[in-house]
Structure 1
């Protein structure tokens, strides 16, 4: 392998060093020299004596995997950037994830505590909901395909054996694909399988996370197939509150498994340390009509430093919450002999379920009505807007009376107005893009941002531009705000140590195919919380009015 350490694929991806190797390929750290970023490149190794037809099939399979993963936009699904055929071998270019797979984490350390396994389950379940809503069945959910990142995500990888609803499979190879310990019984019997099959595989994966072995342990793959087809799952011993839920998810018949909605609710309760609600056995196994996922606090053991603030003055609010124990669980649980490193796997920081209605839960558990059917046609904002032109000098001085300079563009496409102790910002939601191609895509970005907002017990932020040094704060979950644009929500940051005073108020809003975030910050104590919230909403209203005026003018 060392002989191709400096190999460049497609004239832009320079291979640096292998990150992982297996019998059928390797994953490389690579530098994208065009966009100047690090990426992961999956190398698919083909036997040298493979006949041309099989080689062509392997390349087509890699292209198909890349196409499937690329069409699924979700924070818990690995992002595929590109696919390359080089010297008759496929190479898949993906986002670079830092961490380890669930399988590696459990085998090298120990099984996960129950509440942390449930957090992983929340993220992967929501990824499956997004995939199923797009008509994609993963078919290979297993510990090796769940990646636990150091930045707080559980990510579902490897869509190489996924199938699309209605897609013909007769031309594919007929051998069993997947790991027998994590394949649902109906698929082992030769059936195509559906969403309930992925749910069974997720149950088996979470079982491994807390027990350290699969639910049907066996010495050989053939023996595992026999046990999955004929035997009930091994009674869990260390799963605690997850035990009853896992038993239902591992029901031999698909119709006896719980619904995705019920599983999501139970995982949330367990992740938050609450006693899980007892679920009745099936019939069920249906795909949810809308997400039922609430914000999951992030544990703080082995806290990681927060990212430095950008030149534009915004520090990503990293959330870490200290948890002082677990609520009683309905079944006995085994002892934990050590604390699993939460720096490797924190909570899922972004949970989104993309379904036909694309509804979402509020922080108080109530579900607002989904917006009317949104257009898939290109929106009116085809190019980035200039946020500095969305608020007039007269308007901004109502919130920053001492302001003398004009708004300053930031290096993330935003704008900021600053005076000592007070600041106003308008920037793209998510920091990476501010619009979707269509109102529907922008709405999905908006929902993604809403689910990215987590209540936290400890958050750090700073803003040198307003003379605010690094400070400790706590963040709320998403909050309802008054009308601003087509849809909007807010969240706040409160001082964590002394007065508990509100310091920052944010509003995220969508207008047509554009999603922006507005933040109003006061650190000198001159305004109370309601006035800061009102300031953020007022600024968001100005932004929405300016955007609607641009929209009306065409």
Structure 2
């Protein structure tokens, strides 16, 4: 077992992504378990400078002492690598909770918003921006507490002129944050301050109240285009929170509500979050009394998602929750609205454990060729990935989520990275998958030409898998072109969306890359039948 700083013994990885790897570890000095984040320094720049900057920012975040901010115990450098030592939390991320329970009651959403607002204001008073507020970085503990995690890309507002701008982010290897939760002023390269974090909070609360992200699209580049040009859909489940959420998501930071107004509205609606009874806790979870929180599972230490060429493997549904916890414990008992549909008995989704292995699924046995969801990162072999996208490497854009994977090339900023992304879900019955495939294709075909800033073609049939269809998009405002392919193989649906930056016309080469990617994935699945 590797020991860091002669003290922290790494026990098992909790998850890994573009921002680094999170480990469950034992503090041999204090005889307790902690979470250790091995921060991955951005490639393609001065590593010593990146190390110094990362340690400075992590230490600034460690100085924050607030019950709704993850406790950072230590920040160290070993072998030129930054390591951040944090609490382990018993619970799950807000994204995972919504994924499993559906939209949350407005009163509970208001309470979650208040606690995260408290955390952000405490950071902002110290001149620290979080820059990655999203459902995967908001933990709901078994004690009904709300904790904001992962200040791994936080920065002082005074570090550089216009800190938080796209230009500054490009200097560090790309725009920090996750698609759909990055404020539009940050994407436009304008100076971004505390109001950008509050915009991200609005997007996070929108997902909690509605059960879906406000700018949900097929690919990361399409999400960015929507954030920059489109208003979010009017909320239908948020009730009295709806108007506030839309105001927080205004593209103009000058007209968004100030923290005092947000707080007053949330306080008028807030309802305490229920506590999960201790007797229902898994026997494997050690419960230790602490002044602030119960340590065990650290969730939502999210990797920033690459934004460009995207290949997505879908089975009947989509995610968009922006992160999952390392260990799924029984849900914090937030009541599900009566209007929320129960999960279909023929549908199972991919989850993961602390070891990163998919647990056995327990759907009703059906006639599909695949009894469990395939892992996204296994759908392209290294050899296949190199043929489709030479020089690429696989990554999971959301920690602990084996239903998604991407392959990327390029070290530049937001519009200079090329990547392939896969998402996976699963139906036990072939007919259910056929229905989901038809519904997905028909929905996208109906959207053709519906966005003024995006030219979208009609659906066309292509040859891949058991059935497949394709569509092209040209997004002029962000200078990208995308070809998306939907493909079904038995009870698996695959969506392949391949985008190229700095190109406004879909080329035959782009269509060919998407088709070759889809056929390579189909070949892998056919061999596994």
1:380 is aligned to none
Residue 106 of structure 1 aligns to a residue whose secondary structure is helix
Residue equivalent to 2:339: 335
Whole-angstrom distance in 2 between the partners of 1:119 and 1:251:
22
- The question of whether the paired residues in 2 share the 8 Å contact of 1:135 and 1:165 is answered with yes
- Distance in structure 2 (CA, Å) of the matches to 1:136 and 1:27: 23
Structure 1 gaps, min length 5: 1-5, 273-296, 308-313, 327-332, 340-554
Distance 1:61 1:167 in 2: 10
Asked whether the equivalents of residues 114 and 267 of structure 2 are also in contact (C-alpha less than 8 Å), the reply is yes
Distance change in 2, residues 1:325/1:145 (3 Å)? closer
Q: 1:14 to 1:113 in 2, by over 3 A?
A: same
Report if the CA contact (8 A) 2:75-2:85 is conserved: yes
Q: Does 1:136 align with 2:111?
A: no
Question: Normalising by the residue count of structure 1, what TM-score does the alignment of the two structures yield?
Answer: 0.48
Name the CA shift for 1:324/1:200 in 2 (closer, same or farther; >3 Å): closer
Shift of 1:185: 1.5
Q: CA deviation at 1:315?
A: 11
Tell me by how many angstroms 1:111 deviates: 2.7
Deviations 1:381-403 (A, max 9, x none): xxxxxxxxxxxxxxxxxxxxxxx
Root mean square deviation of aligned Cα: 3.2
Residues 61, 151 of structure 1: CA spacing in aligned structure 2 closer, same or farther, 3 A cutoff? Answer: farther
Distance 1:8 1:141 in 2: 31
Specify the alignment match of 2:14 in structure 1.
19
- Following superposition, the deviation at residue 166 of structure 1 comes to 2.2
- TM-score using structure 2 length: 0.50
Equivalent residue for 1:299? 274
Q: Does 1:98 align with 2:90?
A: yes
Please give the per-residue CA displacement for 1:497-533, whole angstroms capped at 9, x wherever unaligned: xxxxxxxxxxxxxxxxxxxxxxxxxxxxxxxxxxxxx
In the other structure, the counterpart of 2:177 is: 178
Structure 1 residues 246, 334: CA separation in 2 closer, same or farther (over 3 Å shift)? Answer: farther
Gaps of 5+ in 2: 282-288, 294-332, 344-529
User: Secondary structure of the residue that 2:269 maps to in structure 1?
Assistant: helix
Q: Distance in 1 between matches of 2:141 and 2:206?
A: 20
Secondary structure of residue in 1 paired with 2:114: helix
Partner of 1:43: 38
Query: Is contact 1:69-1:77 (8 Å) kept?
Result: no
Partner of 2:508 in structure 1?
Answer: none
Q: CA distance change for structure 1 residues 324 and 251 in 2, over 3 Å: closer, same or farther? A: closer
Contact 1:119/1:271 (8 A) holds in 2: yes
Change (3 A) 1:214 1:315: closer
Q: Distance in 2 between matches of 1:230 and 1:30?
A: 44
Relative distance call for 1:336 and 1:114 in structure 2 (3 A) is farther
Deviations 1:47-106 (A, max 9, x none): 9xx56x543244234312321211211111111111222332222111111222222222
Equivalent residues in 2 for 1:411-450, closer than 5 Å: none
Q: 1:46 Cα shift?
A: 5.5
1:200-349 matches, cutoff 5 A: 200-272=199-271, 297-299=272-274, 302-304=276-278, 335-337=339-341
The Cα of 1:8 is off from its aligned counterpart by 1.0
When residues 237 and 33 of structure 1 are mapped into structure 2, their CA distance, relative to the original with a 3 A threshold, is same
Shift, 1:113, TM fit: 2.3
* 1:161 matched residue in structure 2: 153
> In the aligned structure 2, how far is the partner of 1:256 from the partner of 1:89?
42
Q: Tell me which residue corresponds to 1:527.
A: none
Match of 2:65 among 53, 67, 73: 73
How far apart are 1:12 and its partner, in Å?
0.7
Aligned-partner SS, 1:270: coil
Change (3 A) 1:61 1:106: farther
Instruction: Report the secondary structure of 2:239's partner residue.
Output: coil
| Equivalent residue, structure 2, for 1:113 | 105
2:391 corresponds to which residue?
none
Kept after mapping to 2: 8 A contact 1:237/1:334 = no
Q: Distance in 1 between matches of 2:49 and 2:68?
A: 28
Spell out, residue by residue over 1:240-259, the C-alpha distance to the aligned partner (whole angstroms, 9 max, x if none): 22211111111121121112
SS in 1 for 2:340: coil
SS of 1:182 mapped into structure 2: coil
- Structure 1: how far apart are the matches of 2:153 and 2:10? 26
State the alpha-carbon separation in 2 of the partners of residues 103 and 12 from structure 1: 33
Provide the residue aligned with 2:507 in structure 1.
none
Take 1:227 and 1:127, find their aligned partners in 2: how far apart are those partners? 28
Alignment of 1:514-553 (within 5 A): none
Does the residue aligned with 2:205 lie in a helix, a strand or coil? Answer: helix
The aligned residue for residue 5 of structure 2 is: 10
CA drift at 1:14: 0.8
Aligned length: 290
266 and 260 in structure 1: CA distance in 2 versus 1, 3 angstrom threshold: same
Please say if residues 187 and 193 of structure 1, whose CA atoms lie closer than 8 Å, have aligned partners that are also in contact.
Answer: yes
Q: Residues 225 and 25 of structure 1: is their aligned pair in 2 closer, same or farther, counting only changes over 3 Å?
A: same
Q: Per the alignment, do residues 24 and 165 of structure 1 end up closer, same or farther by CA in structure 2, a change over 3 Å counting?
A: closer
1:160 Cα offset (Å): 2.6
Q: Is 2:117 aligned against 1:125?
A: yes
1:271 is paired with a residue whose SS is: coil
